[in-house]
Homo-oligomer: A and B are copies of this chain.
Amino acid sequence: MKIALAQLNYHVGNFESNTAKIIDHIHRAKQQQADLVVFAELCVCGYPSRDFLEFNEFIGLCEESAKKIAAECSDIACIIGLPTHNNKKIGKELNNSAYFIENGEVKAVVNKALLPNYDIFDEYRYFEPSTEFKCIDFKGHRIALTICEDLWNTLENPLYVTRPMDVLIGEKPDVMINIAASPFAYNHDEERIDILRDNAKRYNLPLLYVNHVGAQTELIFDGGSLVFDNQGGLIDELPYFEEAVTYYTLEDKAKIIPLQPATIQVVRQSNIEQIHHGLILGIRDYFYKSGFSKAILGLSGGIDSAVVCALAAEALGPQNVMAVLLPSRFSSDHSVNDAEDLVKNIGCMHEIIPIREVTEAFETALHPQFNNLPFNIAEENIQSRSRAVILMAMCNKFGYILLNTSNKSEAAVGYGTLYGDMCGGISVIGDVYKTQVFELARYINREREIIPENTIVKPPSAELRPNQKDTDSLPEYAILDPILTQYIEHRCSSGEIIRMGFDEKTVRRVLRLVNIAEHKRYQTPPILRVSPKAFGMGRRMPIVGKYLS
Contacts and interface: CB of A to CB of B under 8 A. Distances in A.
A46 interface: yes
Nearest to A17: B546
Contact of A89 (B91, B117, B158, B495): B158
A373 B397 contact: yes
B546 A14 contact: yes
A167 interface: no
A543 interface: yes
Contact of A376 (B52, B117, B397, B524): B397
Interface in A139-164: 158-161
Interface in A201-255: 216-217
Contact of A52 (B117, B425, B541): B541
A122 B11 CA distance: 26
A353 B369 contact: yes
A390 B363 CA distance: 9
A419 B382 CA distance: 13
A100 interface: no
A181 to B, nearest CB: 13
A491 B545 contact: no
A415 to B, nearest CB: 15
A469 interface: no
Contacts of A546: 11-15, 17, 289
Interface residues of A, number: 96
A113 B388 CA distance: 49
Contact of A396 (B377, B394, B537): B377
A85 interface: no
Interface string A14-56: 1101000000000000000000000000000010111110111
A542 B394 CA distance: 26
Nearest to A394: B369
Given A381-B396, A393-B381, A523-B523, A544 B90 contact: no
A290 interface: yes
Contact of A357 (B57, B58, B365): B365
Interface of A: 11-15, 17, 46, 48-52, 54-58, 60, 89-92, 117-118, 122, 124-125, 158-161, 216-217, 285-286, 289-290, 351, 353-355, 357-358, 360-362, 364-366, 368-370, 373, 376-379, 381-382, 385-386, 388-390, 392-394, 396-397, 418-419, 423, 425, 491, 493-496, 519, 522-526, 537, 539-549
Given A12-B546, A370-B397, 14 more contacts: A11-B546, A12-B547, A48-B542, A50-B542, A57-B495, A91-B161, A92-B159, A289-B546, A357-B364, A360-B361, A366-B390, A366-B397, A385-B388, A389-B419
- Closest 4 A-B residue pairs measured CB to CB? A57-B493, A13-B547, A14-B546, A378-B396
